[in-house]
Amino acid sequence: MAEYKLQYFNMMGRAEPARLIFAYAGVQYKDERIEKSQWPEIKPTTPHGKLPVLHVDGKQLAQSRVIERYLGKVFGLAGENEWETAKMEELQACVEDFLIEIQPWFKEQDNAKKVEIFKQLIESTIIPFITAFENILVTNGTGYFVGDKISYADLAIFHIFWFMNSKILPGALRKYPKLHEFVEKISAIDSIKQWINSRPKTEA
């Protein structure tokens, strides 16, 4: 069995989908959380000066989405064929686009400006994103986003909507029955539930 270590800051952020993959797969790893004060010293040791970094038997792999895909393949949570693999990558790209679009809201420190940015994002970005992913679940008809069983893409998407429903727009998913059902279903998986209940409590 390989030895795994996941390095990231003490937050959910871009490392949380990988942590959820480890939790679901039941694979042990070192969840190394870097404090901001440690970062200047650690940064030069990373492949591209960014986190997260996955260490596998001493080798390093960077970029959060690449890490998710790698773990998905290793733990049997990737596509059954090339088409499913491509669709999972497509959904990852959509999530990434969404995170880039809402980044100004996360970074803004002025509360008044933050509220104004959020009002704009609701109509231009957030509701279209939720609606699109609700429609994907309706179209696929299996309760999952690709194929008929859980994948690493489902866990990455779950985190976005769990965070949205818990932190950004509490209860908003009740208007989207398939997404609400999806988040409730993944949350109820024993290993995922245990991780959510035991993980360090952070705001983001």
> Which residues are known catalytic residues?
8, 14, 105
Q: How would you class 44 by CB atoms within 10 Å of its CB: exposed for 0-12, middle for 13-18, buried for 19 or more?
A: exposed
CB 3 within 8 A of CB 54: no
- Cβ within 8 Å of residue 58, ≥6 positions away: 3
**H helix or E strand, kind and range, residue 133:** helix 127-140
Q: Token digits for 164?
A: 């949205």
Separation between Cα atoms, residue 100 and residue 88, nearest integer Å: 19
